[in-house]
Amino acid sequence: MAVENKTTIILPDGREVEALKPVIVSASRSTDIPAFYPDWFFKRLEIGYSVWTNPFNGIRSYISYEDTRFIVFWSKNPRPLLSYLDRLDERGIGCYIQYTVNDYEKEGYEPYVPPLFERIDTFKRLAERLGPDRVIWRNDPLMLTDMVGIDELLERMQRIGDALQGYTGKLVFSFADLSCYARVVKNLNNSRVRYIEWEPDLMKETAREISKLNSRWGYSLATCAEQIELDCYGIRHNHCIDEELIVRLAYMDDKLMQHLGVQFGHAQETLWGFESPPAGSIDLGNGCYAVLTGKNRDRGQRRCCGCIRSKDIGQYNTCRHLCVYCYANAGKRTVLANHEAHLRSKDAESITGGRS
């Protein structure tokens, strides 16, 4: 079972402090590290630790990268990662990328992401470098407003999906759940965005149409942290920090597999080939299979989240994409102030500055 260990690290000033020692790192649900802070992150990875501040109580925690074996990146512009991937290979650290590619260019809902054509080009470059299984397309969130209806959302999704064929095997989407986030509602009102809440019937109608679109793509379809059941349309609940995918990509990493508690087996070989692996196991080919414990789910996430445990190392109020629907930013002024603090101390322990 994936339980995070702790260790003692020595800081540059000689102090000894306790640090979490994650095997799987999330970089990051809270901000776009690949787009805005790759220099900082890979410098901290080299140094061996960074500092994370809890957004709810302000408590600082030290994170040691001594045992890190796998990183899940989240980004709307991961192009800067291209120049860093060799460093991960050198350290024996695996990764995949949750790459959000939406099309809200006309409305300006994502004002500081690169042009769509450039993001699609970046997607293809990453898929060519890493393989299509390691670059996951997120059309997330699907946002209904007085300017963007269901038909328009589907047309835009089709154009992106057509462009990405052969460069990914999976599409993850979600329905924008806005009213439960007070700061999001405030930001939307300040931006004069008239949003429409998704109702279950609208979700099902849209899911049915996405399933029809998928007849031309053949992607694996999944929703992120959605309660609604859409199995009848071939749409599963997603696991963004995905234990099965990590095993498929890195089953040769003994330390990572031990951390996850994975058990391996080998199917009996017959005259007609290998027997089928046990139900629920992961077929790794050549008769090999892996069995998961089912005990690694991250209980600290939303109720409908299927992620396994990892350590997120990002910080709220630091993402300069400034998307109007973002739950991780309180406002533009705070984000820009934090970015200025980062620029004054790029090698600091935390994204927003501090001891180095």
Q: pLDDT for 166-207, tens place per residue?
A: 999 999 999 998 888 888 998 899 889 999 999 999 999 999
Q: Which two tokens stand for residue 54?
A: 């809890």
Query: CB of 302 within 8 A of CB of 225?
Result: yes
The span from the CA of 130 to the CA of 145, in Å, is 36
The answer on pLDDT for 223 being more than 60 is: yes
Candidate ranges 178-182, 296-300, 334-338, 351-355; pick with highest mean pLDDT: 334-338
3-class SS of residue 24: strand
pLDDT at 356 over 80: no
pLDDT-derived band at 355, boundaries 50, 70, 90:
very low
Q: How far apart are CA 199 and CA 178, in angstroms?
A: 12
CB-side neighbour CA atoms (13 Å) of 194: 4
**Amino acid at residue number 207:** A
Question: What pLDDT does residue 181 have?
Answer: 82
Query: Which pLDDT value is given to residue 354?
Result: 61
CA pair distance 351, 312, nearest whole angstrom: 13
Contact 224, 174 (CB under 8 A): yes
Interval 30-70: pLDDT, tens: 999 999 999 999 999 999 999 999 988 999 999 999 999 99
Do residues 301 and 324 make contact, with C-beta atoms less than 8 angstroms apart? no
**Torsional sign, CA 87, 90, 93, 96:** positive
Locate all alpha helices (DSSP H) within the chain, ordered by sequence: 33-36, 38-47, 85-91, 116-130, 150-163, 182-190, 200-213, 243-250, 254-260, 332-344
Instruction: Tell me what pLDDT residue 4 has.
Output: 63
**What's the token pair of residue 250?**
């890195």
pLDDT single digits (tens) 12-41: 999 999 999 999 999 999 999 999 999 999
Helix 116-130 and helix 150-163: axis angle, to 10°?
40
Give 270's pLDDT tier (boundaries 50, 70, 90).
confident
Residue 238 pLDDT > 80, yes or no?
Answer: yes
> How many Cα atoms occupy the beta-carbon half-sphere of 25 within 13 Å?
27
pLDDT-based confidence at residue 10 (cuts at 50, 70, 90): very high
